[in-house]
Amino acid sequence: MKRILNFLFQTKIRTKRAPNVVIDRVNIDLPEYQGSVEEVARAKCMSAWEHLKKEGKTNVRVIVEDTALCFSALGGLPGVYIKWFLKELKPEGLHRMLAGFDDKSAQAMCTFAVMSDEMQEPELFQGICPGQIVVPRGETSFGWDPCFQPDHDSGHTFAEMDKNVKNGISHRSKALEKVINYFVTNPN
């Protein structure tokens, strides 16, 4: 039996490893929750699940993705609020935020939250990519990629990397691998 999985994010997902999963992308305007990465992902997922249930959908399974960029020198900020910081400051401003600090380390975090009718609360799958905040380099094709240099042998920012290399080491790919493994072992 194929199971419909409702995705609430824009990343294209390949499901070759989970052939019994059918992807149905939905666009729901969710509130902007505040809290830790885990709290925000859980709240978004529960809200989306409840929305779909109210629409009369049955056998609902939802997955929501949230991303954070956490600066060590700032106690984890901007964290889940990176979208708003980036909108106002751009990658150059994110780098300048750490001008007075020796510690430029950061963690890129991606959290997927999964909720289904059989669950009491969402299951979380997190991927973390440690790195440094640097002077922006490379094309600005995605958010803060020009100022985040992962702790990887290449010495390149995400923006400078070949997409296949980036996708092999990124926080999102690490979290997504956990999600795929979950669906392979829990197809129903």
Instruction: For 151-172, write each residue's pLDDT tens digit.
Output: 987 899 999 999 889 988 999 9
Residue 106, strand partner residues = 71, 131
Residue 144's nearest CA partner among 99, 91, 98, 108 is 91
Binding-site residues for ITP, in ranges, read 44, 66-67, 142-145, 166, 171-172
Count of all residues that appear for the chain in the document: 188
- Total of domains in the chain: 1
Q: Which residues belong to the annotated binding site?
A: 32, 44, 66-67, 142-145, 166, 171-172
Give percent above pLDDT 70 in the chain: 85
The answer to whether the bond into 130 is cis (omega within 30° of 0) is: no
CA pair distance 145, 140, nearest whole angstrom: 7
67 vs 53, residue with greater confidence:
67
pLDDT (mean) for 137-153: 90
Domain hosting 117: range is 3-185
Is the N-terminal amide bond of 187 cis, ω within 30° of 0? no
The confidence band for 4, taking pLDDT boundaries of 50, 70 and 90, is: very low
The domain spanning residue 176 has which CATH number?
3.90.950.10
The answer on pLDDT for 2 being more than 70 is: no
**Binding site for Mg(2+): residue ranges?**
32, 66
